Homo-oligomer: A and B are copies of this chain.
Amino acid sequence: MITLKSYAGGEWRSGKGKGRLLHHAVTGEEIATCGSEGLDFNGMLEWGRTKGGSRLRSMTFPERATLLKTMAATLNENLPEFHEIAASYGATRRDAMLDVEGGIAALGFYASLGGKTLPASTFLTDGEIARLSKPGNFVGRHIYVPLEGVAVQINAYNFPSWGMLEKLAPSLLAGMPSIVKPATPTAWLAFRMVEVLIASGVMPEGTLQLICGSIGDLLDHLTCQDVVSFTGSASTGRKIRSHPNIVKNAVRVNIETDSLNCIILGPDITAGSPGLAHFTEEVFKEMTIKAGQKCTAIRRLLVPKETEQAVIDDLKQRLGALRVGDPAVSGVGMGPLVDQAAVESARRGIEALSREAEIVFGDPNRTQFEGAGTERGFFMEPILLRSKDADRAESAHEIEVFGPVATLMAYRDVEQAIRLARRGGGSLVASVHSEDEDFIRRMTFGLAPYHGRLMMINAKAAPESTGHGVVMPHLVHGGPGRAGGGEELGGLRSVHHYMQRIALQGDPERLEKLCAPAAGE
């Protein structure tokens, strides 16, 4: 049994007490313990701010970019081990690649952004010079400087690698040190990655710390120079957002919670057409990749009444051919959920959904799955539901079942489809499959205020699409309302999130000198 330690103030430390047990998702075996009791959380913040922050802030963007590049290279040397660890949370090869290689790719993306497009400076300028007086001897200009605190990054269990690295990349590039807190059920992978990074000596002292276990009283010690980035449940998100010290100090918080993402089939896509196959293939992928444990996964299918049955038939065929079980067994296409709590939560969710929908595929209580030793694993086969009345339905628009579960709803016209999509109350992403320009335009502007990302798939884009659920570092990730109201990635946009924008006023010569590259510190 492995003990997952925390990396605090430059040392690896075990928590006091027993900690929490981690289980192998395929076999149910106990594999590790994880606890942070007794850690000096305030000390960690101080150490990050003083040691790590001053070091990072003295580096230029290209230098920080080189750090990211070296981190990516270091992690790349250990891929086989990371994939082995990912198997413990039930990842198929493809699932593990999304998490491990996907996370390293985010590092690579920001390394390239910082190295190729940002100045050899410690801060950024923003926008043009504003003339503030007639003769022109008094002007204004905005710059972004790194915040001088710590980026506290609290991640979800579904992406222990990608979730950590997609947050670390922009914050390190901005010049902020991090304290990473992985979700306990899958903390092993994050722990091992941090261990590799620290052991390699690539991380400047104080720039990266790790909490395996709970964050204790850490939030009590945050100041206006710190940032909290959180991915996880809506209820924890609310606790963070309304935490008294965070409210008092106006601590910057970026939150990504759950989301009832939808995919919409245009009325022009008919049964039997290649467009319909693109649609059902996308739904199948989103339901089964990572066993549906993706915050961007499709939870709601909006299809025209007349194609409803064709979509169901096609999906039943695809889902019926899927083999669920131990991903180590050849031919298995979907692994387990992360733990027993996840299975039970998904079953409760499906039960609630079933009151307003019928299950058209799958048995939430199936117990036999492929592979030896899977009897005590945390499996669930894909469940497709069909809403009885999409307008009246409540649960399908409100309950996010974090597993291989989706609900199909038939719609009559564009207005209803838009109304139903919006009932998610703010989502990370929606997809529209259609060749009809007018339909796409109406859906786009009907959905846009409620979404962070919108994918439009036609025959031309379909073969090259990166997929509904895949978050690209070029584009923002986040959504309004229920999705948490935050924004991550999006290239430079998320780098700004870890910096303070300040308006400088003064004589233009002085400002020009001040804003010249490498002027900082």
Q: Give the complex CA separation of A445 and B466 in angstroms.
A: 41
Q: Is the pair A454, B145 in contact by a Cβ cutoff of 8 Å?
A: no
CB distance from A230 to the nearest CB of B (A): 12
A118-155 Cβ-contact flags toward B at 8 Å (1 or 0): 00000100010010111101101011011110000000
**A449 located at the interface, meaning its Cβ lies under 8 Å from any Cβ of chain B in the complex:** yes
Q: Is the pair A481, B249 in contact by a Cβ cutoff of 8 Å?
A: yes
* Nearest CB in chain B to that of A448: its residue: B145
Q: Give the complex CA separation of A502 and B430 in angstroms.
A: 11
Q: Give the complex CA separation of A441 and B248 in angstroms.
A: 31
Q: Is the pair A461, B130 in contact by a Cβ cutoff of 8 Å?
A: no
* Nearest CB in chain B to that of A432: its residue: B506
* Nearest CB in chain B to that of A426: its residue: B224
Contacts A142-B476, A224-B481, A250-B426 given; does A456 touch B500 at CB 8 Å = no
Chain A's interface size range is 35 or more
Q: Is the pair A481, B250 in contact by a Cβ cutoff of 8 Å?
A: yes
Q: Is the pair B249, A241 in contact by a Cβ cutoff of 8 Å?
A: no
CB distance from A239 to the nearest CB of B (A): 9
**A485 located at the interface, meaning its Cβ lies under 8 Å from any Cβ of chain B in the complex:** yes
Q: Is the pair B146, A465 in contact by a Cβ cutoff of 8 Å?
A: no
Q: Is the pair B142, A444 in contact by a Cβ cutoff of 8 Å?
A: no
Q: How many identical subunits does the complex contain?
A: 2
- What B residues does A521 contact at CB under 8 A? 445
* Nearest CB in chain B to that of A435: its residue: B510
**A491 located at the interface, meaning its Cβ lies under 8 Å from any Cβ of chain B in the complex:** yes
Residue in B138, B255, B475 whose CB lies within 8 Å of A503:
B475
Q: Give the complex CA separation of A301 and B329 in angstroms.
A: 72
**A501 located at the interface, meaning its Cβ lies under 8 Å from any Cβ of chain B in the complex:** yes
CB distance from A244 to the nearest CB of B (A): 8
Q: Give the complex CA separation of A301 and B224 in angstroms.
A: 23
Q: Is the pair A461, B142 in contact by a Cβ cutoff of 8 Å?
A: no
Residue in B135, B437, B500 whose CB lies within 8 Å of A510:
B437
CB distance from A414 to the nearest CB of B (A): 13
* Nearest CB in chain B to that of A447: its residue: B502
CB distance from A473 to the nearest CB of B (A): 9
Q: Give the complex CA separation of A482 and B137 in angstroms.
A: 32
Q: Is the pair A503, B453 in contact by a Cβ cutoff of 8 Å?
A: yes
- What B residues does A456 contact at CB under 8 A? 504-507, 510-511, 514
Q: Is the pair A437, B485 in contact by a Cβ cutoff of 8 Å?
A: no
Q: Is the pair B500, A449 in contact by a Cβ cutoff of 8 Å?
A: yes
**A322 located at the interface, meaning its Cβ lies under 8 Å from any Cβ of chain B in the complex:** no
* Nearest CB in chain B to that of A457: its residue: B506
Q: Is the pair A502, B452 in contact by a Cβ cutoff of 8 Å?
A: yes
Q: Give the complex CA separation of A437 and B514 in angstroms.
A: 9
Q: Is the pair A466, B514 in contact by a Cβ cutoff of 8 Å?
A: no
Q: Which of A225, A449, A455, A520: most chain B CB closer than 10 A?
A: A449
Q: Is the pair B247, A502 in contact by a Cβ cutoff of 8 Å?
A: no
Residue in B132, B135, B425, B513 whose CB lies within 8 Å of A472:
B132
Q: Is the pair A425, B249 in contact by a Cβ cutoff of 8 Å?
A: yes
Q: Give the complex CA separation of A437 and B516 in angstroms.
A: 13
**A310 located at the interface, meaning its Cβ lies under 8 Å from any Cβ of chain B in the complex:** no
Q: Is the pair B510, A458 in contact by a Cβ cutoff of 8 Å?
A: yes
Residue in B449, B481, B485, B501 whose CB lies within 8 Å of A487:
B501
Residue in B138, B224, B437, B481 whose CB lies within 8 Å of A513:
B437
**A221 located at the interface, meaning its Cβ lies under 8 Å from any Cβ of chain B in the complex:** no
Q: Is the pair B426, A145 in contact by a Cβ cutoff of 8 Å?
A: no
Contacts A137-B461, A490-B142 given; does A453 touch B147 at CB 8 Å = no
Q: Give the complex CA separation of A82 and B146 in angstroms.
A: 43
* Nearest CB in chain B to that of A134: its residue: B464
- What B residues does A201 contact at CB under 8 A? none
Q: Which of A237, A448, A501, A519: most chain B CB closer than 10 A?
A: A448
- What B residues does A463 contact at CB under 8 A? 137
**A366 located at the interface, meaning its Cβ lies under 8 Å from any Cβ of chain B in the complex:** no
CB distance from A274 to the nearest CB of B (A): 15
**A299 located at the interface, meaning its Cβ lies under 8 Å from any Cβ of chain B in the complex:** no
CB distance from A52 to the nearest CB of B (A): 15
Contacts A250-B482, A426-B250, A440-B510 given; does A476 touch B501 at CB 8 Å = yes
Query: 13 pairs across A/B with beta carbons < 8 Å?
Result: A130-B472, A225-B481, A249-B426, A250-B426, A250-B482, A437-B513, A441-B514, A445-B519, A448-B500, A453-B504, A456-B511, A458-B510, A460-B507
Task: Supply 13 further A-B pairs (C-beta < 8 A) apart from A224-B450, A251-B485.
Answer: A140-B472, A145-B448, A224-B425, A224-B482, A225-B449, A250-B255, A252-B485, A440-B514, A448-B500, A449-B500, A451-B500, A456-B504, A456-B510
Closest 8 CB pairs of A and B: A224-B481, A250-B485, A456-B506, A133-B464, A475-B503, A130-B474, A138-B464, A461-B507
